[in-house]
């Protein structure tokens, strides 16, 4: 049996999977807003409840924002401030009395989709969550490639090529890919182009209904996404790229992006498949379980 836990900004979700990946139980609780100790305790209580339903000990995997620093052993690069700079996997392991494996939430998403999701038939998968950010994870032969700095797959904090407008990213840099390709980035592009302050799904709906401005902005977005993903293909040459997150539900992306990335991929053809996630919002917690 495997237990996976996904630590989010507003909720903590846990799942119990059997050896075949079938879901036995699933639970969620609210994420304590400001207390690190309460975060640890909430996760521990959730795990203990799932262990009871497993009828004994199960392996524990945890996915969340950020990564464990090889230098300090503490969580870095996390936008959940309560865990930033803390030894979350070690502290949780002490509380539970067992080893806890931790990985970035985007890595967990990619692993879930590579093991038994949309990318299950491919040996190399790049998983991308396009929502509030643009996290990414690399999975080779069903194993996460974390990297020596624990930042493999963090394509969203490379510079967005070919743009002149300055957009400040939360990481402190300007014009990160994330500032253009996340949901809020698409909404900002629409606003800058003269549109109303609306969210990404409404832009997609207007484009489908034939609004010229929305069509233009969404087409530009697809071209930017294609160029950014072409950089990943030129570097890793993955067999499949799997998209998740709210923006991944815009169907035209899967038509236009593979058409456009041929302009930027350094090859006479591109066999990389662009796929929609099989498990959607459930991929993160399932991938945490698959860390074992």
pLDDT in tens, the chain (292 residues): 999 999 988 899 999 999 889 999 999 999 987 899 999 999 999 999 999 999 878 999 999 988 999 889 999 988 777 898 999 999 999 999 999 999 999 999 999 999 999 999 999 999 999 998 898 999 999 999 999 988 999 999 999 998 989 999 988 999 999 999 999 999 999 999 999 999 999 999 999 999 999 999 999 999 999 999 999 999 999 999 999 999 999 999 999 999 999 999 999 999 999 999 999 888 999 999 999 9
User: How far, in Å, CA of 4 to CA of 64, rounded?
Assistant: 11
Q: What is the pLDDT of residue 70?
A: 86
Q: What is the pLDDT of residue 8?
A: 86
User: How far, in Å, CA of 172 to CA of 183, rounded?
Assistant: 19
User: What residues contact 81, with CB distance under 8 A and at least 6 apart?
Assistant: none
Three-state SS across the chain?
A: CEEEEEECCCEEEEEEECCCCCEEEEEEEECCCCCHHHHHHHHHHHHHHHHHHHCCCCEEEEEECCEECCCCCCEECCCCCCCCCCCHHHHHHHHHCCCEEEEEHHHHHHHHHHHHCCCCCCCEEEEEEECCCEEEEEEECCEECCCCCCCCCCHHHCECCCCCCCCECCCCCECEHHHHHCHHHHHHHHHHCCCCCCCHHHHHHHHHCCCHHHHHHHHHHHHHHHHHHHHHHHHHCCCEEEEECHHHHCCCHHHHHHHHHHHCCCCCCCCCEEEECCCHHHHHHHHHHCCC
Domains of the chain: 2-108+283-289 (3.30.420.40), 121-276 (3.30.420.40)
Q: Which two tokens stand for residue 55?
A: 């009828």
Q: What is the pLDDT of residue 177?
A: 97
pTM for the full model? 0.91
Quickly count: other Cβ atoms within 10 Å of residue 220's Cβ: 15
Q: What is the pLDDT of residue 107?
A: 96
Q: What is the pLDDT of residue 270?
A: 96
Q: What is the pLDDT of residue 56?
A: 79
Q: What is the pLDDT of residue 145?
A: 95
Q: What is the pLDDT of residue 132?
A: 86
Q: What is the pLDDT of residue 170?
A: 86
């Amino acid at each position: 049996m495997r237990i996976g836990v996904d630590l989010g900004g507003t909720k903590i979700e846990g799942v119990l999977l059997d050896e075949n990946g079938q879901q036995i139980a699933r639970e969620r609780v609210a994420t304590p807003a400001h207390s690190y100790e309460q975060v640890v305790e909430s996760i521990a209580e959730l795990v203990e409840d799932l262990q009871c339903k497993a009828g004994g000990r199960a392996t524990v995997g945890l996915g969340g924002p950020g990564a464990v620093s090889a230098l300090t052993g503490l969580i870095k690069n996390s936008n959940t401030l309560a865990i930033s700079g803390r030894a979350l996997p070690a502290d949780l392991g002490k509380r539970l009395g067992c080893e806890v494996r931790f990985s970035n939430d985007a890595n967990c998403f990619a692993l879930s989709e590579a093991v038994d999701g949309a990318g299950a038939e491919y040996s190399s998968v790049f998983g991308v969550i396009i929502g509030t950010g643009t996290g990414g994870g690399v999975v080779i032969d069903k194993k996460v490639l974390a990297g020596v700095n624990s930042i493999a797959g963090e394509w969203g904090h490379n510079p967005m090529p070919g743009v002149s407008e300055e957009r400040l990213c939360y990481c402190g840099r300007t014009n990160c890919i994330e500032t253009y390709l996340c949901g809020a980035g698409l909404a900002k592009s629409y606003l800058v182009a003269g549109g109303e302050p609306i969210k990404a799904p409404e832009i997609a709906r207007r484009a489908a209904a034939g609004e010229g401005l929305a069509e233009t902005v969404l087409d530009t977005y697809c071209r930017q996404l294609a160029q950014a993903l072409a950089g990943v293909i030129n570097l890793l040459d993955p067999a499949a790229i799997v998209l998740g997150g709210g923006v991944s539900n815009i169907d035209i992306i899967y038509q236009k992006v593979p058409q456009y990335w041929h302009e930027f991929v350094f090859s006479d053809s591109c066999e990389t498949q662009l796929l929609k996630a099989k498990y959607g919002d459930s991929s993160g917690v399932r991938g945490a379980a698959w860390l074992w």
